[in-house]
Amino acid sequence: MSTTTKGLPGAMGATGPEGSAGVTVIDRISRKEKVAYGFGDFGNGFMFDLGQSYLTKFWIDTAGIAPAVVALIFTLSKLFDACMDPLAAAFIDSRRFGKRGKFRPVMMVSSILLAVMTVVTFTMPDVDMGWKIAFAAGTYAVWGIIYSFHQ
């Protein structure tokens, strides 16, 4: 549900007299829009899980990291990400509204960085196991931070 105020540029809704400031109008989201957003989020979640499955296989089979350590990396990354999401949202909300909006410029830059970090996340230097674990955890944490800004 979104709220807009009549009388402001770009205000939506059709209740109350035109131009009366301070009237709050609530525009309901149609069932069609809810289903469309649901399918979009389902597709996003499916691709995210598919990528995470491949990353798990890569770290275990190719890099030789123990499955329990991979599980720990994912768990700690998700806990870290739970703290990062509100910070990313606060940063985006604090931006001035420009001609391309608040979020679009951040999304455009983070898309490029996310593509680069996806490639880096699926690479593994030929180092000792401790460094492999640190590299895997670090690159996935950075990937998660960028993903927070992208979403």
State phi, psi for 124 to the nearest 5 degrees.
-145, 120
Task: For 73-122, write each residue's pLDDT tens digit.
Answer: 999 998 998 888 888 888 877 877 777 777 788 888 888 999 999 999 99
- In eight-state DSSP terms, residue 30 is P
Report the pLDDT value the prediction gives residue 21, as an integer from 0 to 100. 56
Is the pTM of the predicted complex or chain greater than 0.95? no
Least confident stretch, 2-16, 54-68, 123-137: 2-16
Report the pLDDT value the prediction gives residue 15, as an integer from 0 to 100. 45
Report the pLDDT value the prediction gives residue 135, as an integer from 0 to 100. 96
CA distances from 5 to 15, 40, 95 (A): 11, 28, 21
Strand residue runs (E) in 1-125: 2-5, 24-27
Strand residue runs (E) in the chain: 2-5, 24-27
